Homo-oligomer: A and B are copies of this chain.
Amino acid sequence: MNPLATLPTPTAVVDLPRLQRNIARMQAQLDALGVKFRPHVKTTKCADIVRLQVAAGASGLTVSTLKEARQFFAEGHTDILYAVGIVPNKFEAALALRREGCDLKLITDNMAMAQALGTFGRANGHRFELWIEVDTDGHRSGVAPGSDLLIELGLAIEAAGSTLGGVMTHAGASYELDTPEALAAMAEQERAGCVRAAERLRAAGLACPVVSVGSTPTALSARALPGVTEVRAGVYAFFDLVMANVGVCAPEDIALSVLTTVIGHQPEKGWAIVDAGWMAMSRDRGTQRQRHDYGYGQVCDAEGHVLPGYVLTGANQEHGILAREGEADPGIVQRFPVGTTLRILPNHACATAAQFPQYEVVTAEGALREWPRFQGW
């Protein structure tokens, strides 16, 4: 019997062989490119999974919240990059972590915070390590690699009393691409911009030892990374339908799915209703403008085999609408009787995983393990 048949639904299921394959693939890619790999733990927020990443060769972590830093420091990880611009209401929490022995690095892209952090550090007799966020694709935060501000910021960080530890960038615009050529070009753009920023800072007399780049698509598409010292990526551990559309994985590589049960039908509409709504799948519609719009997720059987053409076309809080893409299926009731167990692949693994307090992990032998994850800030 399928071990999942005993679980209540909805449940977040992790396919351990797929997870391990994804982890090994990224590590092999970055080992071959000769760079350190600093995984982003915001996707899984799970100590058991991070242990697998480190065992595979990862070194240092990237976090998106200070809660992640706190939790993973408690698990014994010390080299941690908090990759969201620091602000004063987080100074105390960052200081506490560093005083306890966490080698926490912070980032900024503006003079106000370079000054404020230095002032706060001096007032507390502490020297922070601050990195400059560089904008290499125009999608979010960061200073331009060729800007005067970059140099002013580097000098101000040191003058204010912090250490300039490096530069970092994230080419999130890579999520909008879907050809190997465009992805390789974006990886090179990300690399070149960040290396240029570091070289300009060094020419201004600053050490800037670290050059940190990354996103799952660019990390897997980079052909060479001269000048880069480390790469960051997160969603690759699970992968998801957005990444399948980008072209860096197949649906069969996706390690996270939501186990669900058929609870009813609307036969004339060709609908089966399942107990995975947006509370389980999240509201993420990341495939909406990609080459294949999977609605709220791709339907698989209970063993995880994709059932082509069947997706969640709609979602309420605890109800999902399962239908065939295109033409309605007149045999929906017979195909998916009430009580049928299914698995749904998510658009965006980071968002779907965040809806659950734990993962049910299925091993290669079909055994089940429960791995907790955490929520909040």
Chain A positions within 8 Å of B, measured between CB atoms, are: 5-11, 42, 64-66, 84-90, 93, 108-110, 112-113, 116, 133, 135, 140-141, 172, 261-266, 273, 275, 278-280, 282-285, 316-319, 321, 337-339, 341, 348, 350-351, 354-358, 375-377
Q: Which of the residues B10, B88, B285 comes within 8 Å of A377, measured between beta carbons?
A: B10
* Given A273-B141, A355-B354, CB of A261 within 8 Å of CB of B7: no
The answer to whether A377 touches B8 (Cβ under 8 A) is yes
Q: Nearest 7 pairs between A and B by C-beta?
A: A85-B263, A283-B283, A357-B376, A283-B284, A112-B338, A64-B318, A87-B261
Pairs A–B under 8 Å by Cβ, sample size 28:
A6-B89, A8-B66, A8-B377, A9-B89, A42-B317, A64-B318, A86-B263, A87-B262, A87-B275, A87-B338, A87-B339, A88-B339, A89-B339, A110-B264, A110-B338, A112-B337, A113-B339, A116-B339, A140-B273, A141-B263, A141-B319, A278-B351, A279-B354, A280-B377, A283-B283, A285-B285, A354-B355, A357-B376
List of B residues within 8 angstroms of A356 by Cβ: 375-376
Instruction: Please measure, in the bound complex, the distance between the C-alpha atom of A261 and the C-alpha atom of B88, giving whole angstroms.
Output: 9
Query: In the complex, what's the smallest C-beta–C-beta distance from A315 to chain B, in angstroms?
Result: 10
Instruction: Please measure, in the bound complex, the distance between the C-alpha atom of A273 and the C-alpha atom of B87, giving whole angstroms.
Output: 12
The answer to whether A113 touches B377 (Cβ under 8 A) is no
List of B residues within 8 angstroms of A86 by Cβ: 263
The answer to whether B339 touches A65 (Cβ under 8 A) is no
Chain B residue nearest to A356 (CB atoms) is B376
The answer to whether A89 touches B265 (Cβ under 8 A) is no
* Given A84-B263, A140-B273, CB of A8 within 8 Å of CB of B93: yes
Instruction: Please measure, in the bound complex, the distance between the C-alpha atom of A9 and the C-alpha atom of B85, giving whole angstroms.
Output: 12
Instruction: Please measure, in the bound complex, the distance between the C-alpha atom of A357 and the C-alpha atom of B374, giving whole angstroms.
Output: 10
The answer to whether A377 touches B264 (Cβ under 8 A) is no
Copy number in this complex? 2
List of B residues within 8 angstroms of A358 by Cβ: 376
Instruction: Please measure, in the bound complex, the distance between the C-alpha atom of A42 and the C-alpha atom of B277, giving whole angstroms.
Output: 13
List of B residues within 8 angstroms of A116 by Cβ: 339
The answer to whether A90 touches B8 (Cβ under 8 A) is yes
Q: Which of the residues B140, B261, B338, B350 comes within 8 Å of A319, measured between beta carbons?
A: B140
The answer to whether B141 touches A266 (Cβ under 8 A) is yes
The answer to whether B64 touches A109 (Cβ under 8 A) is no
Chain B residue nearest to A376 (CB atoms) is B357
The answer to whether A8 touches B357 (Cβ under 8 A) is no
List of B residues within 8 angstroms of A108 by Cβ: 264
List of B residues within 8 angstroms of A11 by Cβ: 377
Q: Which of the residues B278, B316, B377 comes within 8 Å of A172, measured between beta carbons?
A: B316
List of B residues within 8 angstroms of A88 by Cβ: 339
The answer to whether B110 touches A140 (Cβ under 8 A) is no
The answer to whether B350 touches A317 (Cβ under 8 A) is yes
Instruction: Please measure, in the bound complex, the distance between the C-alpha atom of A235 and the C-alpha atom of B93, giving whole angstroms.
Output: 34
The answer to whether B84 touches A319 (Cβ under 8 A) is yes
Query: In the complex, what's the smallest C-beta–C-beta distance from A369 to chain B, in angstroms?
Result: 17
Q: What 19 additional pairs, Cβ within 8 angstroms, besides A8-B66, A317-B350? A: A8-B90, A64-B317, A65-B318, A84-B275, A84-B318, A85-B263, A85-B275, A87-B275, A87-B339, A89-B341, A112-B339, A116-B339, A282-B282, A282-B283, A283-B351, A355-B375, A356-B375, A357-B376, A375-B375
List of B residues within 8 angstroms of A262 by Cβ: 87
Instruction: Please measure, in the bound complex, the distance between the C-alpha atom of A9 and the C-alpha atom of B9, giving whole angstroms.
Output: 32
Query: In the complex, what's the smallest C-beta–C-beta distance from A192 to chain B, in angstroms?
Result: 20
Instruction: Please measure, in the bound complex, the distance between the C-alpha atom of A354 and the C-alpha atom of B356, giving whole angstroms.
Output: 10
